[in-house]
Amino acid sequence: MEYIIFAIIAYLLGSIPSALIVGKVGYNKDIRLHGSGNLGATNTFRVLGIKAGIIVTLADILKGTVATLIPLFMDADVYRLVIGLFAVLGHTYPIFAKFKGGKAVATSGGIILGINPLLFLIMILTFIISLYLSKYVSLSSIITGVVSIIASIFFHNIGLFIVITVLTIFVIYRHWDNLKRIKNKTEPKITWM
């Protein structure tokens, strides 16, 4: 029963459409009608700018982190990484935004922050370096996932390894069209780094 309760809470947290809220409240703009139409941080950066992008990124990370910390604070006997997965599902398929959300990257990172801050730091550094070198957010997200799988081995936690592997596969799936555009040289690069 505890798993069901916390899974629902995590899904609802993940379903909060940060990009949609920031766009409508701060810019009077529905981000779904601009750029890629995606309710994630990348499209927010592209459409609304750096300030809005940072806010959405932090909010999306926080959704995953809070979802993993609530069971801890409530002293619940649940596997918090599994609960975190429901926040990612909520972010990707949000009930509050017609089940069309982001691509799972920031919220996935938020889960890891709530469970293993050192691994989260490795993820952030990997993402920044990859983004600096490639200028592709999508490719950097995938590289970060793969590096995280490898890094998780050194923490000797099979559950962490499995969840990160599942999340990385999901991130790759969500970015499949981006990979095709990279191959065809039609994927937009960032210009601010």
pLDDT one-digit tens code per residue, 10-45: 999 999 999 999 999 999 999 999 988 899 999 999
- Whether the CB-CB separation of 9 and 64 falls below 8 Å is answered with no
Cα distances from 135 to residues 50, 67, 128, 138, in angstroms, run 15, 31, 10, 9
- Whether the CB-CB separation of 180 and 174 falls below 8 Å is answered with no
Buried b (16+ CB within 10 A) or exposed e, 43-57: bbbbbbeeebbebbb
3-state SS, residue 87: helix
pLDDT band at 1 (very low <50, low <70, confident <90, very high): confident
pLDDT, one tens digit per residue, over 151-191 is 999 999 999 999 999 999 999 999 999 999 999 999 988 88
pLDDT, one tens digit per residue, over 142-152 is 999 999 999 99
pLDDT at 18: 96
Buried b (16+ CB within 10 A) or exposed e, 11-33: bbbbbbbbbbbbbeeeeebebbe
Q: Average pLDDT over the chain, rounded to whole? A: 95
pLDDT, one tens digit per residue, over 45-90 is 999 999 999 999 999 999 999 999 999 999 999 999 999 999 999 9
